[in-house]
Amino acid sequence: MGKLMDKEYIVESNSHEGNLDSKYKKSNGIFYTDLELSNAIVEFLKIPKNASIIDPCCGMGSFLFALKKNGYKHLFGCDFDEQTVNKCKKALNMRNIKCIDTLGNSGENILAEIKKQRFDYVIGNPPYAPISGDTKLKSYNGFNNLVKSSGNNLFVAALYRAFEICKAGGMVSVIIPKNLLHISSYKIIRENLLRNKRIVSIIELGIHFKAVRGEQIVLTFQNCEAQANDEIKFYRYDKGKIEYMSSVPQSYYKNEIIVFTGDDEVPIYDKLKNSYPQLGEVCSENIHRGHDKSKDAVTGKQIRKFGFKNRNIPDKGNQIFIQNIFSAEAGITASFAGDLKPAETVTIVKMENEQLCKYILGLLHSRVCNYFLIRFEFNNSRLTIHTDAKYLNQIPIVVDNIAMEDVINIVNKMEETEYMSAEWFKLNESLNAIVYDIYKISDEDREYIEAEMRKISASKWYGEKVCTA
């Protein structure tokens, strides 16, 4: 298969996917993998040439095509759509591709249809879509309940199925949603992976499939328990290349899997996470969303950093209002809100008094707190996320009575200074310098955080592109 064949296959695959009904694709979680990514993953895995390999949800066979092109011979594929299977067989000139619903049949039944023994490698891009009431995974007793309790998504069913058809000690490598790593609905399957499998690597893909809501990863694990010294290696994928980021012992994780973008991040996280109280512990009430529907209620769009659009900052009170819609490029956008009324697009943080509000407001706008929130609470996501209590509660807070006056003075000056003026940015840098000292961040770690936040934040928040919107 040369370059011309690559082009012909891509045209054929894209044409078939384009002709599929959009509702059919959405309900079945069908999103084909581009050949560039399939090639990169195949090269990354360094699979032995004599390995038996299956893609149990192969679609048009992008992974099988990449494997065949690289000289692999013991290849098998399955898909539930008969038309797709026939087209895939023809495009790849392969016979070992069968029309089987691998999510709706037990591993035992699948192996009986294809190959009597389990596979050395299970790879691919399984479907991801919520399992509706009409979807039935016709399998052994309890499988439906297991999947539903573990996240109720087709890709979860695919993971459990991979456990069944992969050899003991074999490898599974699949493209799945990144939120498997941290959201509560996937807690059971995530704990299963951490406790019962050896997670070899996680590759960040970002928003690779434009039609899919959310970000994706490539999860590779060995079908065996991890040993005490086993590490999870983290990588990022960009423009056909897979680049190393960090390594973390698997035993480090109890449930949520944080993606560390560099080896230097682990000690920074440990210090911020374990050395200080959390925001939820210092608030006078539970953090919550607004619900006022009156005309004078403050909306999220009316909030800007240290103030409001077309509204004066109150003189007294004990509330901080935060834009509920969070963008990593902007970071937290919040203002002292006194006794104003909040709409549902506002998150409310209440403190004991005005002084503590102003102090906490300064901390929340700092790069230290935004770095922690973006990297570790939002797990390095680039998507728009809500600043709900689940995340804000975890932000480390140092109540430094000595530095409090200095922070409050700067916050007051920023409230009075022209928004995003040269003086405003100068004050902001002074605030960040104080906060770094409050958290006892070393010069080396400070430089690291600054460099990482530069990659994330929009340049205008450094005063490099002044905007008065």
Same domain, 257 and 334: no
Task: Choose among 269, 281, 319: nearest CA to 297.
Answer: 319
List the Cα angle 60/61/65 in 5-degree steps. 130
Same domain, 246 and 152: yes
Is 324 contained in some domain?
A: yes
Is 274 contained in some domain?
A: no
Is 295 contained in some domain?
A: yes
Same domain, 298 and 199: no
Is 45 contained in some domain?
A: yes
Same domain, 151 and 234: yes
Last residue of a domain, one of 232, 263, 294: 263
Task: Choose among 136, 77, 79, 139: nearest CA to 105.
Answer: 139
Is 145 contained in some domain?
A: yes
Whether 345 contacts 290, CB under 8 Å: yes
pTM above 0.85, yes or no: yes
Query: What phi and psi values does residue 128 have, to the nearest 5 degrees?
Result: -130, 115
Residue 214 contacts by C-beta under 8 Å, 6 or more apart in sequence? Answer: 177, 178, 179, 207, 383
Per-residue pLDDT of the chain (469 residues; tens, 9 = 90+): 444 478 888 888 888 878 888 888 777 777 888 999 999 999 999 999 999 999 999 999 999 999 999 999 999 999 999 999 999 999 999 989 999 999 888 899 899 998 779 999 999 999 988 886 555 565 555 787 888 889 989 999 999 999 999 999 999 999 999 999 999 999 999 999 999 999 999 999 998 887 777 899 999 999 999 999 999 999 999 989 999 999 999 999 998 999 999 999 999 999 999 999 999 999 999 999 999 999 999 999 999 999 999 899 999 999 999 999 999 999 999 999 999 999 999 999 999 999 999 999 999 999 999 999 999 999 988 777 899 999 999 999 999 999 999 999 999 999 999 999 999 999 999 999 999 999 999 999 999 999 999 999 989 998 875 444 4
Same domain, 100 and 246: yes
Same domain, 313 and 395: yes
Which pLDDT score is estimated for 1?
46
Is 269 contained in some domain?
A: no
Last residue of a domain, one of 204, 230, 263: 263
Q: Phi-psi region for residue 270, left (φ > 0), alpha (ψ -120 to 50) or beta? A: alpha
Same domain, 254 and 339: no
Is 199 contained in some domain?
A: yes
Distance of alpha carbon 320 from alpha carbon 335, whole angstroms:
6
Same domain, 68 and 92: yes
Query: What phi and psi values does residue 17 have, to the nearest 5 degrees?
Result: -65, -40
- For residue 431, the enclosing domain spans 279-462
Which pLDDT score is estimated for 134?
52
Same domain, 199 and 347: no
Distance of alpha carbon 59 from alpha carbon 72, whole angstroms:
19
Same domain, 195 and 330: no
CATH value at residue 10: 3.40.50.150
CATH value at residue 391: 3.90.220
Q: How many domains does the chain have?
A: 2
Same domain, 252 and 313: no
Strand partners, 435: none
Burial 206-242 (b: 16+ CB within 10 A, else e): eebbeeeeebbbbbbbbbbebeeeebbebbbbeeeeb
Q: Report the sign of the C-alpha dihedral through residues 291, 294, 298, 301, in that order.
A: positive
Last residue of a domain, one of 263, 293, 309: 263
Same domain, 12 and 148: yes
Is 468 contained in some domain?
A: no
